[in-house]
Amino acid sequence: MVILVINAGSSSVKFTCFDMADNKKVLATGLVERIGIEGTSMKYTNHKGDEVKGAVDVKNPTDAVKLISERLLDANHGVLKSLNEVKAIGHRVVHGAEKIKDPIIITSEVKEVIKDCFSMSPLHNPHNLNGIEACEGVLPGVPNVGVFDTAFHATMPPNAFLYGIPYNFYTENSVRRYGFHGTSHAYVSKAAATLDGRPYQSLKIVTCHLGNGGSVAAIKDGKCQDTSMGLTPLEGLVMGTRSGDVDPAVVLYLMKLKNLTADQTDNLLNKQSGVLGLAGIGSSDLRDVETAQDSGNAQCRQALEVYAYRVRKYIGAYMAALGGLDIVVFTAGVGENSATMRASIVNGLDGLGIKLDGAKNAVRSPEPRVISQEGSPVKIHVIPTNEELAIAEFTVSLVK
Ligand code: AMP
């Protein structure tokens, strides 16, 4: 069964084409980027390793989906004989608010929900919908499935999702914590249970998705109990360019002090803060900050310590929220690749039963692996995330 997975962003459309019947094989993957701006290009790689890349004339998501379809059918590098082989298309959608709690077949009602969430996810939902509508046009009759970043967190209880502000802002304006990266948290927590050999429904797991954005989730018996992102992805961890948790009064103070508009403040907290703002070397990439730290930059060292401390604090808080812990999982760009950051995060947690094995932690591998000491009461796992595969699996389960 061939499944196409689409992740449509503000100026890019990423795709992966799977043959789910052939051991979930990736037939082809790639992206069209800088859509609608100068220098539009496409990269396409098929399962034989053929790579096609270069400038393309693509002005909108529909053009992008047409081009992706053409490449999939291409006589030299294509992987399909006909578009009829595509049995369904899975789409990453960021915000589904309270209305969407599971992956769902896209209907006109679902599209209305995606639109209702535009104001809460202005940078993602409109583009996600454009991607869906482009596919409806280019591949008519093929079912589209929406897999929502917020859906996995729909099981959070009110004590975790309500803010301490007047209740009517929740009932009338839907202001509450929703959480994001749900597809990744779901995927890696299930994979951790498999690696551990115990039933998913019997485990207390904390997943740390540490990429350019970052969030932590507390999962009990296969259900999310809490997560660090909130109404928007700004809450929680110190991220690449986002501040994460700050005293709300800091926002008001800075707005008054610097005469900032709401948009300028939004930009400050989402784009100029986090590791970028703290480290002060003009990069939000942890590799650059770690390199600068290694050559003696004290501000970079401090930025990395703030980053690690925030994650450590959430792990401790979620241990309390779950009433114990079986597995801590690290995933995404930083979590999968930075042994130094993983060690820094769990530093001093031996007393809580979280005991890192330094040698295992230092091994680089693309495989799911255990990096805790033999006999550590809490296991520590590194699980490479695969949101595309998770979306493809959900899509198959819905259209079968
Ligand atoms: P993601 O959003 O999951 O693609 O993660 C991207 C981020 O992962 C980059 O911005 C880097 O900060 C980080 N990253 C990737 N590789 C490494 C590495 N080897 N060491 C430290 N950080 C890394």
240 CB near ligand 1 (under 6 Å): yes
Residue-range domains of the chain with CATH: 2-148 (3.30.420.40), 198-382 (3.30.420.40)
149 part of the active site: yes
The confidence score (pLDDT) of residue 266 equals 95
Pocket test for ligand 1, best of 14, 284, 287 (most atoms within 8 A of CB): 287
- pLDDT block averages, 10 residues each, the chain of length 400: 96 97 97 93 97 95 96 97 97 96 97 95 93 97 98 98 98 97 97 98 98 97 98 96 98 98 96 97 97 98 98 98 98 98 98 98 97 98 97 96
The confidence score (pLDDT) of residue 36 equals 87
Q: Which of 382, 331, 329, 325 is nearest to 351 (CA)?
A: 325
103 CB near ligand 1 (under 6 Å): no
The confidence score (pLDDT) of residue 10 equals 87
Q: Which atom of ligand 1 is nearest to the CA of 213?
A: 2
| Entry pTM | 0.95
